[in-house]
Each structure stands twice: as C-alpha cells, then as structure tokens.
C-alpha cells in the first residue's frame, strides 16, 4: 500500500505529464502531500466528475429511449429481458454507485494512458486516500458498510428480509445486493473485467472463442417436435427448479441501454462498448438479414474495491427462505403485505379472484404501453376474447403484470401459478396460526407463517427435488446428513452456480404449455399453448380459468428429456420474449454470453475444481461425454476442451444414474446447496430454530397437500414431481395428509414463572423467557414493551403493560377536516357533521312568535287580496251581470 510511485519510472513520467496536461482547475487543487507520488486528488476529482457525467448521460439516454418506445407502443424482446430482471430501488442505488465507480476507474486508466501511452498498473497510482475518496464519492462506501445486527429475542427467531445478519460474524454473507462468491478466480480478457470474447480475435489456448450463436445453432438447437419425453418426471419438477432459482439468484443487468462512452443504443449497435456486449449473428445463421446482432447488456458490476476485478451482484437473498414470495428488501416486503389485516396476510388482487381464491395484486405501472402482461393482439393468433378486451380497457392505468416478491413472477404461466399458490398458502397458514394463537399480532402471524413457508421450501427442495436432479447415490454422497449450523460456511451464491450450473434445466423445458380441464384432459376452452405464448401472459390466468388448468398441466405433463442431440427447444432459442415484434432472443446464446460476461473459466478448469479429469484430446472428451459426435462438434467450434463454455460443456455430460445431471453439474449444484444448508443459521433443522414437535410436523409437508388446500383441484398425485401416466392414478385430496400446526400453539404457562400474562386488548408473544407486547392500531402501550421471567423470584418483571385507547380527537391539528366533528371511539375515531345546537326557551318563544307573525301576515294578505282583487273582478261573472240588469 505504501509503495511509493517514485520508485516506478513510469509513474514519475505520468505524474509530470499529468501536471502539465491536466486542466488548470484540476492541477490547482493538487494536494501538497503525495502530489508527486500518486495521481493526486485533483486528477481523481476530474475523473469522478467526468464519470458522473457519463453515467448520468447514459441513464438519461435510456429514459429517452424508453419514452420513445412507450409512444411507439412497442416492447422489444430486450425490453422484456430488462423488465424480467427489474430490481428495486436499493439494488438500483447499488448498481448506479458501482457503475459510477467502474466508469471512474476506467476513465483514470484512459486519462493516464492518453498521457503516457502506458497501460498503467493503477495500484501504483492510487493512494489509499484516493481509493477511499472514490468509494465515498461514488456511494460505494455506504453500499458496503457492515450492517448493525440486532440481538433481541425476535431477531434470533426470524430471518431479516434482506438476509443480513444471518451470519453474526459476516453479516453480509448471503444478503441481498452482495457480490457472488467465486470458487475459481475469473478469467477476463483484461485485468479490469472485459468479458471473454470482447475482442473476437483474442485467443485462449491458441484458439479464438466461437460466436455464442454458432454454438447455440450447431449444438443446442432442437426442433420443438423433435424431443423425447422424460417419462419419470413431471414438468412441475422443472418448474420447481426455476421457482427455487428465483429464491436464490437474480443478477441485475446494467439499467443503461446506452453505451457509457459513446451513448450508442445497445439495442441497435453491433459494437462492444460497456454495457453493450451484443451477440453477433453469424452469416450462416438463418436469422442473418434481419439484424446482424442480438442485443445483450452486461450484468451490472457490484461495488468492490476500486481496483479489484469486476464482480456481479446477487440482488436477492441467497438463502432458501421463500424470498420470491416475500421480497428481498424491506420496502417490497411491506408493499406485498395487507397491512390493514389483523391476520398478517399478504395482499391479494382487488379486482379479480380465481373463483373466490386470491390472485396476486397487480403491479401499478404508470406507463401502460410498456405493460407486457396484457393480451397482445398483434402476435396472438388466438383471438382476444371480448372480455379480455373489455378488461384491458376497464383497468385504466392498472397493469396485468402481477406484483410478487420477485420481478420474474410474470415470466410465464408456470411461474405465475407457483407464485399464486404460495401467496395463498401463506395466507392459509397465517389464518390457521391465528386460530391457534389469537393473541399473536399481525407481525407475529406474518413472521411465523413466513418461517414455516421457508422451511417447507427447504424440505421440498432437499428431500424431494435434489435427489431427483442429482440421482439418489450422488445425492447421498454429495449431500451427507445435516450436522448443524457451521458459521464458517459462506452461503453466498457462487457465480458459477447462477451463471452456468443451475441453468442446467433450460434444456429440460417442454416447448408446449398444457392446460388441462377438471378431468385432467385437454379442453377446448383452454387450449395448449406454445411456450412463447405463455411468456408474460399474466392476463391468461385472470381470463382463462385461473391457475388450476396450468397446474393440472404441470402435474400431468412429462418434462423434456435432455439428450446429446436434443438440447434446447426452438421455443427458447428462436422465440424467447417474442412480443410485439423485434428480434426474439435466444436463451442458449444468453447463457453462453453471460458466462463470458462474468469471466467464467472454461470447462476443463471446473472439472479440475471438482476433482474430475480434464479432457486433453477428442478421445478423452468423447469418453467423458459418452458421445463422439458431440465431442467432435464441440472441438470443431472451440478448438480445445479448455475453452468450451462451462454451461454447454456441463449440460453435455450424460446424467448420473437416476439423476438428470452429469458429474460436473452434480458437483457444482451439490456444493452450492450444501453451503446453503450449512451456512444458514435459520436452517429448519438447526437446533433452536423449530421445536422438535414442529420439526416432526414440518416433515409431513407435501406439495400435493398445498395444491389441495389452495386451488379447486381435488385429485392430485401422491408425488407431484413424478410423472403420472394416467389421471386414474391420481388420489383424492382427502387421502393426502395435513401438516398439523398444533405444535405452534404457544404455551399459556412458563415452567418457572407460571401463567404468561396476556393483554385483553393487545397482542403478545412468548420468546424464550420474555413476553413481548404490542397494541392494536388506535391504542397506546402504557408500561414496558416486554417483561422477563426472573428465575430467582419466579416473577415476571416488570409489570405487564396495558393498551389504552388513544383519544385521536385531542390531537392538534385535528384528525378531521375543519367542518367535521371528531368523535373518539375504542381504537379509532369518526368524523361527523356537527349536530344542530340545542334550542333555548327564549329561542323557542321567538320561533313560535315568528311563526305566528308569519301566519297572521299571510291571513292579512289573503283578506286584502279578496277585497281588492276578487271584488273588482266580480262584474265579469254572468250572474252578477244579470242581478244588476
């Protein structure tokens, strides 16, 4: 750190050049100390100023482009990918800081290079103070601050929403908005983090990397019709994988769609300029002619030390904690709750229900044109139903996209279905817990239901999903029985897991979404859909029979079988996110390009990490893949096994016995899940997290039961991840056992202090030997918020509090509008029209007098009328005339 730059000749030159060349404003601020040693603060300030300008300008360009596409009414596939990965304000702040930091360092490099034509080692040019300044001014300092962890009883009982403080020593481990872990150092094309293949001529082990689209076309592309079915696994298993992935990883991409340096629109340009890293479309590609590149945005960097290599960010919590249901930020988790319910419920849709069962709320979007989840007349050959059109109009600025704990909820019908199912299950659990513990506050009910749902996800994943993916024997070998929480295990998701390993299941996705009627047969009412018609088609669950037809389809349809010559279906390679036009994306190409963007090392290095042999020639590779044709294809493209992009190499390996992945994937997936288990303080089997009676109850959890409890489906398979051949093999829900929640009934007494004092009007919860109190809205807690059982006196100390009604009407300014009167009620108040004031005796007399006076006046007027007007009119009457004559 203290190595002086004077020792380095190049730095001396640079320093002199900088002093000569920098603008006056910058040089005049050079500090007296360190000025000739390091670049100096004026230089840094100048770089920061320009970097801020570049970052802000690119973000502004992006906003302009979005506005234009709004007025065009066009949502392009790359816009959908951006929406798919949309993140909350916390992540956006982090990403902006990190991009600002990245641009600053890049500018410093360029400024130095321009002045010295020397590719400098910045470690020699930036002092510790300079680095600190950069971190402070870009905002990265505050992004990487160590959080302060609470240590009260409830924080030992419930996870934080953000995942912080799970590990007390390393409170950032596994938390949202932290960088992915690296199990192997990255291999970027330059020391800063240029992706592999940034320069297509760059060689690795004497070979250039093939365009990813060529790999997709030549190795992965599979006709939709040319697939084999996995006759032992249901498509629900495939969905479960994606569902769990959305609990574990979300890699934000740069929010800027414009190149930082040039301002070029990444959706149109073919030049590589961060964040644009377009996917080149080779001449041999059938898509050639439309556009020569497919847009691709680099994953956003995360805040790291200024001169470190680029790292990517996980925007959500790593833990299996059902964060896709609850969100990974405090803001989102609050927005998802029904805060006016006393039951700790999640909010449900206010406009529609699924025959009485809840849907997720709609996401409020102000730019209606950008809403991708409504019916799409232009591309949908299936005509829009009249109701769908009416619905579209009547929703005003309300979107059809649902709001959930994860931004990818609307991606396709299967995802929407699982989100809806678990939203309902939370509410069901919270209501059942309320019946058992009516004294629990809405917060306690929410947290307990959330804790149970998290445990249910851990059990279903470890006991039911993983053994099928890894194969029973690999599962036993790689995932030994749980031995307790290990505070030295880092549960953070690794870059290789999110960017390659857990994307394995992309090759098991079926190209057709089957929707089945109540008898589990195809019904003309809800026809099967090609996968791309199910993408962002949230309106279909609202309009076309709710989630049941989709869920029945997932239960009864088999998964696609991955084989060496049938990898990824064309629905995903040729029609991904095909919306209102624009060049569809290619999921295989995205996976490969993403791996290069993240600097993942090649296939052989990962095999070595796993203690597997590294293939040195074609025979070796053919042996490992069990397929000479595939080995030849890969080597023709890559030249050497060392360069094969790890994702395609790994999915090319034949599956282990009874599993669906080969040895490399089994190793990487098991390593990650083991870390997620051992490094999670709230792991369901960790001592003290649940009581043993609760653990026994949790073991009985069943996905089929959850389906029975939260849908109208009455026939389910015993094992929903196994492929059911025939509807006759299904069981009535009555035969599927319930998870008994009685172990969650809170004891009324404490073994030492006896009866637990509860409040007649307020809420309480027993946590170890403490009782914590809360009052409902409209009441004020008077006294201690918590009391403790004193083991010496066997008494609760201090006295329990009371909840006293708040007199809202005495508040200043008044809670009611000025013309209304405030009436205090228990727990609330009402604003009413003021009553008329009571009448006094004199005012009654005055009123009577004025009424009498009025009557007298009317009589007088009538009399005058009769005399003057009517008398004068009399001669006109006939009899009068006769009398006169």
Residues at the binding site are: 506
Residue from 195, 241, 546, 762 touching ligand HEM (CB under 6 A): that is 241
Among 135, 281, 429, 505, binds ligand HEM (CB under 6 A): 505
Residues 76 to 105: which contact ligand HEM by CB under 6 A?
81
Tokens of residue 702, six digits: 């069943």
Q: Smallest gap, in angstroms, from Cβ of residue 235 to ligand HEM?
A: 10
Q: Does the protein bind ligand HEM through residue 238 (CB under 6 A)?
A: yes
Maximum Cα–Cα distance across the chain? 146
Q: DSSP string spanning 359-373? A: -PPEEE-S-GGG--S
The CA-CA-CA angle for residues 270, 275, 279, to 5°, reads 35
Q: Please answer whether residues 685 and 482 qualify as being in contact, where contact means their C-beta atoms are separated by less than 8 angstroms.
A: yes
In the shown chain, the binding pattern of residues 461 to 500 toward ligand HEM, with x for contact by CB under 6 A and - for none, equals -------------------------------------x--
779-782/828-832 β-pairing: unpaired
Residue 275, preceding peptide bond in cis (omega within 30° of 0): yes
Question: By CB under 6 A, how many residues form the interface with ligand HEM?
Answer: 19
Give dist(CA 781, CA 803) in Å, integer: 5
CA–CA distance, 182 with 200 (Å, rounded to integer): 25
Min dist. Cβ of residue 407 to ligand HEM (A)? 10
Kindly indicate which of the ranges 182-190, 220-228, 240-248, 693-701 contains the residues binding ligand HEM, using the contact rule CB under 6 A.
Answer: 240-248
CB of 253 to ligand HEM, least distance (A): 7
Segment contacting ligand HEM (CB under 6 A): 189-197, 277-285, 503-511, 672-680? 503-511
User: In this chain, which of 464, 506, 633, 681 binds ligand HEM, going by CB under 6 A?
Assistant: 506
For residues 384 and 378, what is the distance between their CA atoms, to the nearest angstrom? 10
736: phi then psi, degrees, rounded to nearest 5:
-105, 125
* Number of CB atoms found within 10 A of residue 345's CB: 23
Rounded least distance, CB 540 to ligand HEM, Å: 15
Angstrom distance (rounded) from CA 39 to CA 130: 9
Residue 566 or 804 with smaller CB distance to ligand HEM: 566
Taking CB under 6 A as the criterion, which residues in 248-267 touch ligand HEM? 249-251
Residue 513 or 766: the one with the smaller Cβ distance to ligand HEM is 513
Nearer to ligand HEM, 346 or 590 (CB): 590
Among 6-14, 54-62, 366-374, 504-512, the segment contacting ligand HEM (CB under 6 A)? 504-512
Shortest distance, CB of residue 569 to ligand HEM, whole angstroms? Answer: 10
Q: In 3-state terms, what secondary structure has residue 791? A: coil
Per the structure block, which two tokens stand in for 434?
């309320």
Between 439 and 510, whose beta carbon lies closer to ligand HEM? 510
Give the shortest CB-401-to-ligand HEM separation in angstroms: 16
Stretch that binds ligand HEM, among 234-242, 286-294, 560-568, 615-623 (CB under 6 A): 234-242
Task: Name the token pair of 718.
Answer: 């015993």
Nearer to ligand HEM, 409 or 449 (CB): 409
End-to-end CA distance of the chain: 138
Q: How far apart are CA 594 and CA 574, in angstroms?
A: 18
Q: Which is nearer to ligand HEM, 247 or 544 (CB)?
A: 247
Mind telling me the catalytic residues?
246
| Element spanning 795, H or E | strand 795-797
Q: Which residues are annotated as a binding site for heme b?
A: 506
Tell me the chain's radius of gyration from C-alpha atoms.
Answer: 35
**Angle separating helix axes 548-556 and 235-248, nearest 10 degrees:** 110
| Region from 245-253, 673-681, 776-784, 819-827 binding ligand HEM, contact rule CB under 6 A | 245-253
Judged by CB under 6 A, the residue of 46, 79, 230, 245 near ligand HEM is 245
Of the candidates 122, 509, 592, 756, which one interacts with ligand HEM according to CB under 6 A? 509
Residue 422 or 502 with smaller CB distance to ligand HEM: 502
Shortest distance, position 637 Cβ to ligand HEM, whole Å: 20
Nearer to ligand HEM among residue 222 and residue 437 (C-beta): 222
Which of positions 431-460 make contact with ligand HEM (CB under 6 A)? none
CB of 482 to ligand HEM, least distance (A): 23
| 578 near ligand HEM (CB under 6 A) | no
Q: Which two tokens stand for residue 429?
A: 């659990």
**Parallel/antiparallel/unpaired status of strands 731-732 and 715-716:** antiparallel
Q: Which of 765, 768, 769 is nearest to 791 (CA)?
A: 769
Stretch that binds ligand HEM, among 502-510, 558-566, 698-706, 746-754 (CB under 6 A): 502-510
Q: Is 502 in the site for ligand HEM (CB under 6 A)?
A: yes
Distance separating alpha carbons of residues 805 and 798, to the nearest angstrom: 22
Q: Which of residues 584-603 bind ligand HEM (CB under 6 A)?
A: 587, 590, 594
671 binds ligand HEM (CB under 6 A): no
Integer Cα distance of 532 and 34 in angstroms: 60
CB of 440 to ligand HEM, least distance (A): 36
Burial of 386 (0-12, 13-18, 19+ CB in 10 A): exposed
The residues with which 181 forms a beta bridge, in sequence order, are 494
Residue at shortest CB range from ligand HEM? 241
Let me know: does 510 contact 559? Beta carbons within 8 Å: yes
Among 90, 424, 450, 503, binds ligand HEM (CB under 6 A): 503
- Of 394-433, binders to ligand HEM (CB under 6 A) are 411-412
**Least gap, CB of 625 to ligand HEM (angstroms):** 21
Measured distance CA(420)–CA(25) in Å, rounded: 59
Query: Residue 17: which residues within 8 A CB-CB, separation 6 or more?
Result: 115, 116
CA angle (392, 394, 399) in 5-degree steps: 55
The answer to whether 294 and 586 have CB atoms below 8 angstroms apart is yes
Q: Give the residue, chosen from 242, 267, 304, 702, that forms a contact with ligand HEM under the rule CB under 6 A.
A: 242
| Interacting positions 131-160 with ligand HEM (CB under 6 A) | none
| Cα–Cα distance measured from residue 162 to residue 167, given in angstroms and rounded to the nearest whole number | 12
Q: Which is nearer to ligand HEM, 22 or 238 (CB)?
A: 238
Residues that bind ligand HEM (CB under 6 A): 81, 238, 241-242, 245, 249-251, 411-412, 498, 502-503, 505-506, 509, 587, 590, 594
């Amino acid at each position: 750190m203290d190595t002086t730059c004077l020792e380095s000749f190049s730095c001396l030159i640079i320093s002199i050049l900088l002093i000569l060349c920098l603008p006056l404003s910058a040089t005049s601020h050079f500090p007296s100390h360190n000025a000739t040693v390091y670049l100096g603060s004026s230089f840094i300030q100048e770089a920061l100023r320009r970097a801020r300008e570049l970052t802000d300008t690119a973000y502004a360009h992006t906003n302009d482009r979005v506005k234009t596409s709004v007025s065009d009414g066009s949502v392009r596939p790359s816009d959908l990918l951006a929406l798919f990965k949309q993140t909350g304000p916390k992540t956006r702040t982090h990403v902006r800081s990190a991009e600002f930091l990245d641009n600053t360092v890049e500018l410093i490099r360029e400024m130095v290079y321009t002045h010295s034509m020397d590719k400098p080692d910045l470690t020699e040019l930036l002092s510790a103070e300079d680095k600190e300044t950069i971190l402070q001014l870009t905002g990265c300092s505050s992004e990487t601050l160590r959080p302060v962890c609470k240590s009260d009883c409830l924080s030992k009982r419930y996870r934080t929403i953000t995942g912080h403080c799970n590990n007390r020593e390393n409170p950032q481990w596994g938390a949202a908005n932290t960088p992915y872990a690296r199990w192997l150092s990255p291999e970027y094309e330059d020391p800063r983090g240029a992706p592999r293949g940034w320069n297509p001529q760059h060689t690795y082990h004497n070979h250039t990397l093939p365009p990813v689209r060529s790999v997709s076309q030549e190795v992965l592309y599979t006709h939709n019709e040319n697939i084999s079915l996995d006759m032992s696994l249901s498509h629900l298993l495939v969905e479960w994988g994606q569902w769990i992935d959305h609990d574990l990883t979300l890699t934000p991409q740069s929010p800027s769609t414009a190149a930082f340096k040039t301002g070029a629109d990444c959706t149109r340009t073919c030049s590589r300029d961060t964040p644009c890293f377009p996917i080149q479309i080779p001449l041999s590609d059938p898509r050639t002619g439309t556009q020569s590149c497919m847009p691709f945005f680099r994953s956003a960097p995360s805040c790291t030390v200024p001169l470190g290599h680029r790292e990517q960010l996980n925007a959500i919590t790593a833990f299996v904690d059902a964060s896709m249901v609850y969100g990974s930020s405090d803001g989102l988790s609050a927005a998802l709750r029904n805060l006016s319910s006393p039951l700790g419920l999640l909010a449900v849709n206010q406009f529609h229900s699924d025959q009485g069962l809840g849907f997720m709320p709609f996401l409020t979007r102000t730019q209606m044109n950008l809403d991708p989840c409504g019916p799409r007349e232009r591309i949908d050959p299936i005509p829009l139903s009249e109701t769908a059109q009416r619905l579209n109009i009547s929703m005003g600025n309300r979107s059809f996209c649902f709001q959930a704990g994860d931004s990818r909820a609307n991606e396709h019908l299967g995802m929407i279905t699982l989100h809806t199912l678990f939203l309902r299950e939370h509410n069901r659990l919270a209501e059942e817990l309320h019946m058992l513990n009516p004294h629990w506050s809405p917060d306690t009910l929410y947290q307990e239901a959330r804790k149970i749902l998290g445990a249910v996800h851990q059990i279903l994943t470890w006991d039911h999903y993983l053994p099928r993916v890894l194969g029973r024997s690999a599962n036993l070998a790689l995932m030994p029985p749980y031995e307790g929480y290990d505070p030295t295990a880092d549960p953070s998701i690794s870059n290789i897991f999110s960017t390659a390993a857990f994307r394995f299941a992309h090759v098991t996705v079926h190209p057709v979404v089957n929707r089945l009627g109540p008898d589990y047969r195809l019904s003309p009412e809800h026809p099967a859909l090609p996968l791309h018609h199910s993408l962002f088609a949230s309106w279909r669950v609202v309009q076309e029979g709710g989630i049941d037809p989709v869920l029945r389809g997932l239960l009864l349809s088999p998964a696609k079988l991955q084989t060496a010559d049938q990898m990824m279906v064309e629905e995903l390679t040729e029609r991904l996110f095909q919306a209102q036009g624009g060049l569809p994306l290619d999921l295989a190409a995205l996976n490969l390009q993403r791996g290069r963007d993240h600097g993942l090392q090649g296939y052989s290095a990962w095999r070595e990490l796993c203690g597997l042999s590294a293939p040195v020639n074609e025979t070796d590779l053919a042996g490992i893949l069990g397929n000479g044709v595939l080995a030849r294809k890969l080597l023709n493209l890559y030249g050497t096994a060392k360069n094969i992009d790890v994702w395609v190499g790994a999915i090319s390996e034949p599956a282990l016995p009874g599993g669906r992945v080969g040895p490399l994937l089994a190793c990487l997936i098991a390593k990650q899940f083991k870390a997620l288990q051992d490094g999670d303080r709230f792991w369901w089997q960790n001592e003290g997290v649940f009581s043993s009676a609760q653990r026994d109850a949790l073991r009985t959890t069943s996905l089929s039961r959850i389906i029975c409890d939260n849908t109208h489906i009455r026939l389910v398979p015993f094992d929903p991840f196994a492929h059911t051949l025939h509807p006759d093999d299904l069981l009535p829900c009555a035969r599927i056992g319930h998870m008994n929640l009685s172990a969650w009934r809170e004891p009324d007494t404490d073994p030492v202090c006896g009866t637990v004092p509860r409040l007649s009007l307020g809420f309480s919860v027993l946590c170890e030997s403490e009782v914590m109190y809360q009052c409902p809205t409209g009441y004020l807690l008077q006294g201690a918020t918590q009391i403790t059982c004193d083991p010496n006196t066997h008494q609760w100390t201090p006295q329990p509090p009371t909840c006293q009604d708040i007199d809202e009407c005495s508040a200043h300014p008044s809670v009611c509008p000025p013309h209304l009167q405030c009436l205090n009620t228990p727990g609330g108040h009402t604003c009413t029209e003021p009553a008329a004031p009571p009448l006094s005796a004199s005012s009654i007399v005055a009123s009577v007098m004025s009424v009498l006076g009025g009557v007298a006046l009317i009589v007088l007027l009538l009399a005058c009328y009769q005399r003057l007007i009517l008398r004068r009119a009399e001669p006109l009457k006939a009899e009068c005339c006769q009398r006169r004559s």
